[in-house]
Amino acid sequence: MTTPDATPTVEELEAQERRLVFPHFTHDDAWALGSLLVEMARERRAPVAIDIHRAGQQLFHAALPGSAPDNDAWIARKRRVVERYGSASYLVGARHRAKGTTFEASSRLDPDTYAAHGGSFPLTVRGAGVIGAVTVSGLPQLEDHNLVVEALHHFLTNAQST
């Protein structure tokens, strides 16, 4: 397992996706997960915007002090990568880097519409697959990614113990 500052491998990122799977994902789950992310970000004084989408509907959005309208544009671009590829935006970018290229150079997608930068993670429901995305923007991309992964791990661990 990587340390918070270490760059994870493609295999480690894929393992995160296999591990962070929901039994279900409701409107109430979106509120609880989004609220958890807000709490974590406030504790760290992180200037982020947080977004949760399911099946094309925004279920949660928060913009914390220090965030900017540009963060919402990044959220949309990163979320579109998750929606198109069914994988975390950071993982999609890492897969391209592992091949010696970049997402921008090899995907042939408009970089104003898609961004394979860290911070958007698929909401995967057991038996249903990817149904949405949770996205954070405002920190360096690995920190955005790690904040989402940490929140998902905490949320799923506590949900299973109740």
pTM of the model: 0.94
82-102 pLDDT, tens digit per residue, is: 999 999 999 999 999 999 999
What's the pLDDT score for residue 69? 97
101-154 pLDDT, tens digit per residue, is: 999 999 999 999 999 999 999 999 999 999 999 999 999 999 999 999 999 999
- Angle (CA) 44-12-31 rounded to 5° is 45
Main-chain dihedrals φ then ψ at residue 58, nearest 5 degrees: -75, 115
User: Do 79 and 50 form a contact (C-beta atoms < 8 A)?
Assistant: no
What's the pLDDT score for residue 1? 45
Question: When comparing pLDDT for 115 and 6, which is higher?
Answer: 115
